[in-house]
């Protein structure tokens, strides 16, 4: 099976890039399923029911989240009818689910949404909970398992990869909005520390630069705004899985409407 994953979709610029490019890319590269982290899709904070429906219509098949999942209360109702995940390692009393099994042409793909500890809201130990999640998905017949690890710390992400490589198919990090250049396949497991945002590329982490600069200068909490006009980027990692093993992978970047870069994964 061929899987696509898109990291933090930030605001209308990010949604516009999805709407402009995703369906065409799915057809061009014969992608079977696209998973996307959409916790910033509605003006940078959460995803509304309207925007979730829009993104599903334009090619996303499964949505994941993180620390901004609950910024819009309507998401709770959306989770009852839409394939939207929240971090698996949140307390059990929290609404929603943190993993699911997707049937793709007779093969089963397990998807886990996980959240790190460093700078994040209260959650259970991701290193312990993920073992429970992987075991459960495999018991449900999923040979291939993908994890969106929504975490600030590169060491958390790298350590999780070191713990799970050879057991699952892929781990891709989200949350920092800054893409890393470590796309690697080792022992049949794909790893990318952070895929980077889809949205405005000429501000600071997808928002207008003025508020972040003022925060750093003063320590005061200036509100973030999504620019109405900006230079945009679309980022997606695409990987092929045979059984549990990731066979190959590449990352697609599209700048604005035309310029495209494709980077292949390194095989260790």
Catalytic residue list? 68
The DSSP code sequence of 73-136 is TTHHHHHHHS-B---TTS-TTSSS-SEEEEEETTEEEEEEEEE-STTSPS---HHHHHHHHHHH
DSSP letter for 160, please: H
Phi-psi region of 11 (alpha: psi -120 to 50; beta: other; left: phi over 0): left
214 membership: H or E segment, kind and range: helix 210-218
CB count in 10 Å sphere of residue 104: 15
Rounded Cα–Cα distance for residues 1 and 106 (Å): 10
Is the separation of the CB atoms in 96 and 89 below 8 Å?
no
């Amino acid at each position: 099976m061929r899987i696509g994953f898109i990291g933090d979709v930030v605001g209308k610029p990010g949604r516009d890039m999805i709407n402009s490019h995703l369906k065409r890319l799915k057809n061009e590269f014969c992608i079977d399923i696209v998973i996307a982290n959409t916790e910033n899709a509605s003006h940078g904070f959460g995803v509304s029911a309207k925007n979730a429906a829009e993104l599903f219509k334009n090619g996303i098949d499964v949505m994941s989240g993180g620390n901004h999942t609950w910024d819009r209360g309507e998401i709770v109702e959306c989770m009852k009818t839409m394939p939207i995940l929240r971090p698996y390692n949140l307390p059990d009393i929290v609404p929603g689910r943190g993993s699911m099994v997707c049937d793709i042409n007779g093969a089963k793909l397990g998807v886990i949404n996980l959240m790190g500890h460093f700078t994040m809201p209260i959650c259970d130990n991701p290193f312990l909970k993920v073992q429970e999640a992987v075991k459960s998905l495999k018991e449900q017949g999923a040979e291939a398992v993908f994890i969106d690890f929504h975490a600030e710390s590169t060491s958390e992400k790298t350590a999780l990869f070191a713990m799970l490589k050879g057991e699952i198919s892929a781990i891709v990090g989200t949350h920092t909005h800054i893409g890393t250049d470590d796309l690697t396949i080792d022992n049949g497991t794909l790893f990318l520390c952070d895929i980077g945002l889809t949205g405005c590329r000429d501000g600071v982490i997808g928002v207008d630069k003025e508020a972040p600069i003022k925060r750093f200068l003063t320590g005061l909490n200036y509100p973030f705004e999504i620019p109405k006009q900006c230079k945009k980027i679309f980022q997606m990692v695409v990987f092929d899985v045979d059984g549990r093993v990731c066979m190959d992978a590449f990352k697609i970047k599209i700048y604005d409407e035309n310029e495209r870069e494709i980077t292949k994964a390194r095989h260790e």
